Amino acid sequence: MALSEKRKGEWFIYSGILFGALFPIITVLSYAALPSLISLGWSTAFAAIFFGLIVSYKGTWHELRNPLLWKYGLYITLFISILFYGLFFIGLTKTLPGNAAIIALLEVFTSFLFFNVFREERISFEYKVGALLMIGGAVIVLVRGFSGVGIGDLLIVAATMCAPVGNFFQQKARDIASSETILFLRSILAVPVIFLLAFAFGQHASYGNVADSLFLLVVNGVLIFGLSKILWVEAIHRISVTKAQALSSITPLATLLLAWLLLRQAPNVWQLTAVLPLILGTLLLTDHLHLRKSK
């Protein structure tokens, strides 16, 4: 029996969960030899090569002739490749991967604000409770027992505010071009800007440093910035961004487990406590959970 487009979108999200869980861990491991923006730049460059090969194989270079795609591509590059990932990569130098994965769930809330509230759609009782739970869960991680807010955590929060705008333009771009073409365009536009930012912030790396992290950079570029992003763009072409984020809410749990196994960073009580309200919030914001029966 053929899957509906909605079910296909959901399965694309489920397939990308492992890649999403590995993202903060692989990135932090690359920091042993490389500064944050240098790591982001090389990861994006390998992603561009990956997407270029797919575009060549599928013969979709002609899609780049569309000026509207370039317009959307500039917005996507700014809000996702530069602002979202730039803030995320720098934030990861100042916080734990588990914290970053949990706080990143705030993207469900920021996506809800952008796609629902700003477009003046209805705000149900469940949505209001869900929004409060999302904020509460993030606050638990941010304050860590009321010992102070970390700058790395705040940078991750700022990153979640940029992603919905980029996803909005990715949805529009997907109506006129394939996923691999969109992602190739955003990658090649982002690479020079990221390296210029790295230079401006005084970040440098030798070829030896790059070689030491080559495996991690290729994994980040091909699997996490590559394959997982194709799955994501195909998913939000079929289901709403907010729902896609909700279905990804299991990712922080997977990140905490992998960080424990690979980095020996056991989940702390604040991280585990924050997971429940964040997941409940995502379920309420996407109508997967109801507090009151419909009349």
The per-residue pLDDT for range 98-119, each reduced to its tens digit, is 778 778 878 888 888 888 777 6
> Would you give the DSSP letter of residue 109?
H
What lies within 8 Å, CB to CB, of 103 at 6+ separation is 138, 141, 142, 153, 156, 157, 160
pLDDT of residue 52: 97
pLDDT of residue 291: 79
pLDDT band, residue 65 (cuts 50/70/90): very high
pLDDT of residue 50: 96
Alpha-carbon dihedral 137, 138, 140, 141, rounded to 10 degrees: 130
pLDDT of residue 144: 61
Listing DSSP states for 35-104 in one string gives -HHHHHHHHHHHHHHHHHHHHHHHT-GGGGG-HHHHHHHHHHIIIIIIIIHHHHHHHTTSS-HHHHHHHT
pLDDT band, residue 1 (cuts 50/70/90): very low
Distance between CA atoms of residues 215 and 228, nearest Å: 17
Place of tokens 């780049």: 64
Is residue 217 over pLDDT 90?
yes
Is residue 149 over pLDDT 80?
no
For the chain, the helix, strand and coil percentages under 3-state DSSP, each to the nearest 5 = 80, 0, 20
| Residue ranges of domains in the chain | 5-285
pLDDT of residue 191: 96
Give me the count of residues in the chain. Answer: 295
- What mean pLDDT comes out for the span 62-67? 97
Distance between CA atoms of residues 294 and 70, nearest Å: 45
Q: How high is the mean pLDDT of the chain?
A: 85
For residue 132, count CB atoms less than 10 angstroms from its CB and return exposed for 0-12, middle for 13-18, buried for 19 or more.
Answer: middle
Q: What is the pLDDT of residues 248-280, one digit of tens each?
A: 877 777 777 787 877 777 777 777 787 788 888
Q: Is 291 helix (H, G, I), strand (E, B) or coil?
A: coil
Asked if 153 and 95 touch (Cβ cutoff 8 Å), the reply is yes
pLDDT band, residue 146 (cuts 50/70/90): very low
